[in-house]
Amino acid sequence: MKKLLLIGNPVEQSLSPEMHNAAAAGLGIPYQYEKRCVQPDQLEKTIMELRNGEYEGANVTIPYKSACIPLLDKVDESAEKIGAVNTIVKEGSKLVGYNTDGTGFVRGLKEISPFPIDQSHILIVGAGGAARGIIAALLSEKALCVTVCNRTESKAMELALEWENVKTVSIEQAEKNLDQYSIIINTTSSGMYPHTEKMPISLGTLKAGTMVSDIIYNPFKTLLLNEAQKRGAIIDNGISMFVYQGALAFEKWTGLFPDVELMKETVVEKLR
Ligand code: ATR
């Protein structure tokens, strides 16, 4: 049996083991995915264990996505730019870090959005780690125009300075002009359980047919997605990002692209 590991703290709530074990079973390959709650002073030892031990690779989640970087032998260029690694692959004797969060999000988005990314004006709400990964992936798909708005405007401005083709607006400005965007993506935790009454942006000017995506999957349908749907938007929740980031990591470890529908069903079943 080949073993894979999720490193984070906390990890109790994570459905990655169920999702990856279903993917491996679906393909009939001998992989077993485990999760481990790692204390900060145990991170280095855990990464050493990956290098020397029985694991083929790992996922890294909160709070170690940045902290693990100096402990690896090599980091993929885009993960380096994002400043976060969510996937570690053992390549020979080397541990290599990748980030599949943003690329996973975009892969999921492309499945459902009617708008080609390279022809889209895209609004990103939020300027944290999740936004960074998604922006990097959208730009590598040649997004026509990416605009960021954030509760703390200075963070959006700092982020925009790092990339060409990224603009910023205030949340108020964005709210006045939502009809300019064909795709709107919430990358904040506003609206996540238990604060389900919150919305990161109000949708008064949203036009029907806009693609609205939320990286939150608890609740399944955030207030933002509910309101967007009422206004005739096409909506997608955070299950897509979770499943596709997992599928891309799985492909890096095994060389095989798994059955995403099976992974999605497994996750949805567990969340029900
Ligand atoms: P992550 O890695 O998940 O992106 P993060 O780096 O802490 O987490 O970033 C969280 C993002 O969600 C930020 O853009 C944050 O806005 P601020 O920069 O103003 O803090 C945003 N966010 C979190 N809670 C929010 C809320 N209740 N309303 C609006 N924005 C919120």
Query: 73 labelled as ligand-binding?
Result: no
What is the pTM assigned to this prediction?
0.95
**Do both 133 and 77 map to the same domain?**
no
**Do both 124 and 217 map to the same domain?**
yes
Q: Which domain holds residue 87?
A: 2-99+240-271
Average pLDDT over the chain reads 97
Positive or negative: CA dihedral 62, 52, 77, 29: negative
Asked if 125 contacts 200 with a C-beta cutoff of 8 angstroms, the reply is yes
What does the pLDDT look like over 202-252, one tens digit per residue? 999 999 999 999 999 999 999 999 999 999 999 999 999 999 999 999 999
Helical residues (DSSP H) of 28-152, grouped into ranges: 43-52, 77-82, 101-112, 129-140
Task: Report which protein residue has its CA nearest ligand 1's atom 14.
Answer: 126
* Interval between CA 40 and ligand 1 midpoint (Å): 23
CATH number at residue 251: 3.40.50.10860
CA 18 to chain centre: 18
Nearest ligand 1 atom, CA 195: 27
pLDDT-derived band at 53, boundaries 50, 70, 90: confident
CATH number at residue 159: 3.40.50.720
| Total count of domains within the chain | 2
What does the pLDDT look like over 162-192, one tens digit per residue? 998 899 999 999 999 999 999 999 999 999 9
* Interval between CA 258 and ligand 1 midpoint (Å): 31
Nearest to 4 by CA among 270, 269, 271, 258: 258
* Interval between CA 146 and ligand 1 midpoint (Å): 18
